[in-house]
Amino acid sequence: MALKNHRLIYPRFYCHNPVQLIHFQISNMGEQALINKSPLKFFLLVFGLSIPLRVMDTLFDVKRFSLDFSIIDILAAFTPLIAACILVYSEEGRVGISNLFKRIFDYSRITNKMWYVPILFLPFFIYFLIYITLYIFELPLPVVFQIPFLSIPLLFCLFFVGAVVEETGYMGYAVDTMQNRFGAVGAAVLIGIPWAVWHYPSIINQGHNINWIAWGTLGTVAVRVLIVWIYNNTGKSLFACILFHTMLNLGRPLFPKDNTHNPLVDYPHIHYSIIAVVTVVVVLFYGKTLIGCGKNSKKLQPFLLRIKSK
């Protein structure tokens, strides 16, 4: 009896199947890594590293680029990655750093290739909905505009790097521990709020008011929910989050605008409320876990069928 009890308590010593032993040890290592992670320390580090840069951006006349961001914004974008590396190194050493960077291209986790459809095209569908909404409400839109198609490869590379340095921190380090404690939607909101606040200095330097900031906060939190949704349904692929973030950013300079009208900036209540509505639909269909088709999707099916029949 004593031997059986010890076998239950210490299965790693008494497991005769080497495959089971390996799986057990890997599982334990993963659980221990999650226990060691501290999202609070991560966010404190991100803000601690960002504040000196933001102060410089406020005190000095830092040159802004054509996409309305400065060199300070570029440097600040690296703070989530730096914060994650500092914490992972202190928790897991060089092996942890190596594993973190390997996840940047973990596309093999995306076993259901159909998820590339929302990853690649949902951002542009959102921008299409924004344009249609602006047109329906007869809001001023650019009459003559040029889409910089030749710049797309360069823009994609720039935005991909930007997404890597942000998502490796938020999704590569913080999200799993927070999901275990607060659930998928809760974790997304709790990551989204400081993520939005982190953008405030840049938004203020661009001359936007409190109303714009409020709508921007709503949209930013909604985007984080969509990213967690993508993450949970692609085998927790960091690459999927990075690619989705890249496509979302890529759509902004491609959205129709001219020297007079810049709709994504001029109408934040339309821009960000559309993102929020899309996010609400996702949450209603997928539920609090944001995985698979949630129970609420079954409740909505009769309603959607009635709409389709009309």
Distance, CA of 248 to CA of 122 (rounded, Å): 8
DSSP state of 60: S
The beta strands (E) that lie in 6-135 are given as none
Q: Is residue 211 predicted with pLDDT exceeding 90?
A: yes
- Main-chain phi, psi angles of 16, to 5 degrees: -90, -15
pLDDT above 70 covers a percentage of the chain that reads: 80
Task: Show me where the domains of the chain are located.
Answer: 17-309
Mean pLDDT along residues 201-205: 89
Global pTM reads 0.84
The predicted structure's pLDDT at residue 13 = 35
Q: Which of the pair, 3 or 206, is modelled with greater confidence?
A: 206
CA-to-CA separations, 201 to 19, 64, 71, 80, 209, in angstroms, rounded? 52, 14, 13, 16, 12
Mean pLDDT along residues 152-165: 96
The predicted structure's pLDDT at residue 68 = 65
Q: Is residue 178 predicted with pLDDT exceeding 80?
A: yes
Q: Is residue 62 predicted with pLDDT exceeding 90?
A: no
pLDDT digits (tens, 9 = 90+) for 251-277: 999 999 988 899 999 999 999 999 999
